[in-house]
């Protein structure tokens, strides 16, 4: 008999005070989704929906709890009046996704009456969001022709690029990237635009992806080169994780050859406390993911706060100074950059709680 391992929720390692976790099932469309609402202290919990063929329900729960918690701190650090939430759909976006499934998901989002607002993430594109929008108004990242702010990925990529420049300034005394070697892991929505910015800045860009056509696109459009080895062995100045999270762990950190880690992927550290310390001890500058990948969130927030893309890009440029502030705090106190970013984000949330209602 196969022994089943039941996922725990309230006592999960990453539960961390989640306000609500919603399990969604729609028999007709095969939808299986989990919505995590970590905090609504600063505002409605906004965060994208990821579609991924998780190997187990526990893996999906683990991912959504880590992601939604990260959104709380991302919104806070970016100075937005938003809480943190995220959703995952257990499915393969290349095979299983249907308009009906996206509509069913939209109905679940609608049932939360605005406590959770969704958007795109891995495996979910603008076109899918159209179907969600048919069922709920609590969705952002909607196509521009429907009055939305469009795909947030280019703004996310811009924020990561700005963060890389700030990191270079701290590490090498100049934000100049000409001739710097960068490995971009994952050349999807965000990664490909980041490759564009980096090659325009004169960097030598190497790329990795599980899909050969993505690599070819980066090679053809932006003169990038394919990297076929293990990312940790790459002899580069900057490693930019732009695929999935948890690539930085016990095995990979000791092998890293780079001076800076700065990428868009959420939850890059397998164990935030332990692995941010390991990276620091290796003398590698880790740019906290939830700080430098906030551009997309700043862009979708424009649909709520009513500003245009130019303003979203301008606000995204603040990432440069926020990162330098975080690095300074880390240097002064000896805590890791990850802890410093987390402290600053938490401080804003705690201060907000003290405001009398
Ligand atoms: N889209 C946004 O605006 C945004 C905002 C903040 C954070 N993020 C995060 O950035 C990351 C990328 O997002 P995206 O929207 O570009 O997703 P995407 O699905 O468009 O791109 C991800 C790419 O990574 C590739 N990939 C997957 N596993 C890989 C592996 N092991 N090695 C190399 N490549 C691999 C995929 O083939 C794909 O091309 C995700 O972690 C996402 O959560 C995205």
* Fold annotation for 153-347: Rossmann fold (3.40.50)
DSSP secondary structure letter of residue 269: B
Span 250-263, pLDDT tens digits: 999 999 999 999 99
Q: Cα 134 to chain center, whole Å? A: 25
Q: 287: closest CA among 122, 77, 84, 18?
A: 77
Is 84 in contact with 70 (CB distance < 8 Å)?
yes
Q: Which atom of ligand 1 is nearest to the CA of 293?
A: 6
Q: Outline which parts of the chain fall under CATH 3.40.50.720.
A: 153-347
List residues forming the annotated binding site for NAD(+).
186-191
What is the helix (H) or strand (E) element at residue 296, kind and residue range? Answer: helix 295-305
Residue 214 falls in the annotated catalytic set = no
Give residue 167's pLDDT: 98
Ligand 1 centre and the CA of 355: distance in Å? Answer: 37
Place of tokens 């490909």: 192
Q: Outline which parts of the chain fall under CATH 3.40.50.10860.
A: 20-72+83-144
Q: What is the pTM of this model?
A: 0.91
Q: 270: closest CA among 234, 232, 296, 300?
A: 232
What is the helix (H) or strand (E) element at residue 177, kind and residue range? Answer: none
Model-level ipTM above the cut of 0.95: yes
Q: Which atom of ligand 1 is nearest to the CA of 289?
A: 7
Joined together, the tokens standing for residue 180 give 């710097």
In angstroms, rounded to a whole number, what is the distance separating the alpha carbons of residues 229 and 236?
12
**CATH classification number, 20-72+83-144, choose in 3.40.50.10860, 3.30.750.24, 3.30.200.20, 3.40.640.10:** 3.40.50.10860
Q: Is the pLDDT of residue 12 over 80?
A: yes
In angstroms, rounded to a whole number, what is the distance separating the alpha carbons of residues 188 and 170?
28
Torsion from C-alpha of 34, 40, 44, 47, nearest 10 degrees: -40
Q: Is the pLDDT of residue 326 over 60?
A: yes
């Amino acid at each position: 008999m196969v022994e089943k391992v039941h996922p725990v929720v309230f006592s999960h390692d990453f539960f961390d005070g989640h306000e609500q976790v919603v399990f969604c099932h729609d028999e007709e469309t095969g939808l299986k989704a989990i919505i995590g609402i970590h905090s609504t202290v600063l505002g409605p919990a906004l965060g994208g929906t990821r579609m991924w063929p998780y190997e187990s329900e526990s893996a999906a729960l683990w991912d959504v709890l880590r992601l939604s918690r990260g959104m709380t701190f991302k919104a806070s650090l970016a100075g937005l009046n938003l809480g943190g939430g995220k959703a995952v759909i257990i499915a393969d976006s290349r095979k299983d996704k249907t308009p009906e499934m996206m509509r069913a998901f939209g109905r679940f989002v609608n049932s939360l009456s605005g406590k959770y607002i969704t958007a795109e993430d891995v495996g979910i594109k603008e076109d899918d969001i159209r179907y969600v929008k048919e069922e709920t108004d609590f969705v952002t990242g909607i196509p521009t022709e429907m009055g939305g702010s469009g795909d947030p990925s280019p703004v996310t990529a811009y924020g990561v690029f700005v963060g890389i420049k700030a990191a270079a300034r701290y590490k090498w005394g100049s934000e100049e990237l000409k001739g710097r070697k960068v490995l971009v892991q994952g050349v999807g929505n965000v990664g490909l635009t980041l490759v564009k910015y980096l090659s325009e800045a004169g960097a030598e860009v190497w790329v990795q992806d599980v899909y050969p056509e993505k690599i070819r696109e980066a090679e053809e459009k932006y003169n990038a080169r394919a990297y076929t080895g293990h990312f940790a062995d790459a002899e580069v100045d900057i490693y930019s994780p732009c695929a999935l999270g948890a690539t930085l762990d016990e095995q990979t950190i000791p092998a890293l050859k780079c001076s800076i880690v700065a990428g868009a992927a959420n939850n890059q550290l397998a164990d935030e406390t332990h692995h941010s310390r390991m990276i620091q001890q290796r003398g590698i500058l880790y740019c906290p993911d939830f700080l430098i990948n906030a551009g997309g969130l700043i862009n979708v927030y424009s649909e709520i706060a009513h500003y245009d893309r130019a303003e979203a890009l301008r606000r995204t440029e603040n990432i440069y100074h926020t990162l330098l502030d975080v690095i300074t705090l880390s240097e002064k106190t000896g805590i890791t950059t990850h802890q410093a970013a987390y402290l600053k984000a938490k401080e804003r949330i705690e201060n907000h709680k003290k405001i009398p209602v």
